[in-house]
Structure 1
Amino acid sequence: MDLTFYKYQGTGNDFVVLDNRSQEITLTQEQVAFLCDRRKGVGADGLMLLQNKEGYDFEMVYYNADGRVGSMCGNGGRCLVAFVQFMGVVENEAYFIASDGPHKAYLKDGLVHLQMKDVDAIEDLEEATFMNTGSPHYVKQVEALADLNVFAEGRAIRYSDRFKAEGTNVNFVEHLPQNKLSVRTYERGVEDETFSCGTGVTACALAASRSGYESPVPISVLGGELQVSFEKEGSGFKNVFLIGPAVQVFKGEITL
């Protein structure tokens, strides 16, 4: 099977993108994992299929780097919105369906504004908080984030008794002056630290709002800068937007 693919990245979170509106592409878990392999394949944190869906501009189908179907990916969603604009599917606004439900998005001044799912509540744990922002996220506030062994500490939490079966993404967040955050994330499915995690920074911003952080929250990640805006509603949040760049890196062809 010959595939034409596109490579996109959003603050260093990178993806293989395939146009499957013709419904001709069917991939096995092994093939997805091969395409995402950084030594033997194209290399990516995940893979996305662009598909048609009645009632929506498109459907987003997301796979983790291990080849398994994934939950919502915020940076992936932003990259796919940029891709569909490039392909002429939409102009500056999009309405699409993903694994966690419908999403609205728009492009403005070179940034993709992606509406995330509403968050009903945040669970308080002993040293952290836990919530689902389209994917499950464990959020722990730390100091000296730059010196933290994110791989070792994140992996220990991800494979702890509570989270081992289904897995969780693990975010370490440092509170900075002027309403800013710095975040590093261990992602399940990739099973390593990534340069950025959209649903993760969203969770960190919502958790920080309980400490007085106000919308929008600027967030630094290894791959660049993001923002998260939101409205509080009781113990939950609505009108949550993940805001940041999405860049096409290259186009290529590969034979599977």
Structure 2
Amino acid sequence: MQLTFYKYQGTGNDFVMIDNRTEFFPKNNTKLVEQLCDRRFGIGADGLILLENHPQYDFKMVYYNSDGNESSMCGNGGRCLVAFAKQMGVVENRAEFEAVDGYHFATIDAHGIVALQMKDVDAVNQHENYTFLNTGSPHHVQMVKDLKTLDVKSEGSKIRYSDLYGSAGSNVNFVHQLENDIFAVRTYERGVEDETLSCGTGVTAVAIAMHQTGKTNNNIIDLNVEGGKLKVQFDVDNGKYSNVFLIGPATFVFEGKIEINQ
């Protein structure tokens, strides 16, 4: 079977996009998803995303990590899917869709900048050396002094598999403050089991954690990731974060075809 796919990236976080509105894709074939995401034997990506029909909204997002398993919310993937849905003619400059963590609203401008509304955050767990919160995916946020030289894969893996988070694990974000409202971030992603160039739910978690812990008083925060720049804005009331938006570019890379065995 010949599969048509589309490749997108959001600040270096890259995804294989498949138009599955006719529901042809073998969604339970974990090995196939893993192969398609493989950078040597497949297309290569941090994850694979299916665009599907939804009875109420514009579309549904189904997201797989590169290990082939369905996963929690992916912010950059959601932004890229909005751009893909526009390319497919499903939406124009705004979108409503359902993901694994529920309803999302997004806008996309003429320059491909997507503003994606993330889930509200009601709980931010502060600890002595780190902060933990869920922005659609679980995130450990930890400030470090030597971000540029840090071995993110090694140190992130230790925390991800530690007793802190049990068998489910957590994504791990290492942060360095550059200015009052600008932070540099590097992220270890579970499911990818390595550092990625960008993580949307991760920078969202960092922005909220930095505000909650008093590192910044701003509600519009710039995040510098290895693959570019993102922005997070939110409203906050008594430690409850709402109208949370992840903002940044979503870029079409190429379209192709690949032979697959179902």
Fold similarity call, TM over 0.5: yes
Counterpart of 2:16 in structure 1 is 16
Identity of aligned pairs, percent?
57
Counterpart of 2:259 in structure 1 is 255
Separation (CA, whole Å) in 2 of partners of 1:62 and 1:250: 19
How big is each residue's C-alpha offset from its partner over 1:140-165, in whole Å with a ceiling of 9 and x where there is no partner? Answer: 01112101111111000000012240
| Structure 1 residue 24, shift from structure 2 partner | 1.2
The one-letter amino acid paired with 2:37 is: C
Counterpart of 1:160 in structure 2 is 162
| Structure 1 residue 235, shift from structure 2 partner | 1.6
The one-letter amino acid paired with 2:148 is: A
The one-letter amino acid paired with 1:19 is: D
| Structure 1 residue 2, shift from structure 2 partner | 1.4
Instruction: Choose the corresponding residue for 2:229, options 213, 225, 229.
Output: 225
Q: Determine helix, strand or coil for the equivalent of 2:148.
A: helix
Separation (CA, whole Å) in 1 of partners of 2:136 and 2:59: 18
Separation (CA, whole Å) in 2 of partners of 1:238 and 1:15: 27
- 1:28-107 correspondence runs (5 A): 28-107=29-108
Counterpart of 2:243 in structure 1 is 239
Higher mean C-alpha displacement, 93-102 vs 231-240: 231-240
- 1:100-249 correspondence runs (5 A): 100-110=101-111, 111-210=113-212, 211=214, 212-249=216-253
Separation (CA, whole Å) in 2 of partners of 1:241 and 1:72: 14
The unaligned stretches of length 5 or more in structure 1 are: none
The unaligned stretches of length 5 or more in structure 2 are: none
Separation (CA, whole Å) in 2 of partners of 1:12 and 1:206: 22
How big is each residue's C-alpha offset from its partner over 1:125-154, in whole Å with a ceiling of 9 and x where there is no partner? Answer: 231000000000000011121011111110
| Structure 1 residue 74, shift from structure 2 partner | 0.1
TM-score computed with the length of structure 1 as normaliser: 0.98
The one-letter amino acid paired with 2:250 is: A
Q: Determine helix, strand or coil for the equivalent of 2:209.
A: helix
How big is each residue's C-alpha offset from its partner over 1:150-205, in whole Å with a ceiling of 9 and x where there is no partner? Answer: 11110000000122400110000111114100000000000000000000000000
How big is each residue's C-alpha offset from its partner over 1:188-238, in whole Å with a ceiling of 9 and x where there is no partner? Answer: 000000000000000000011122241210110000000000011212200
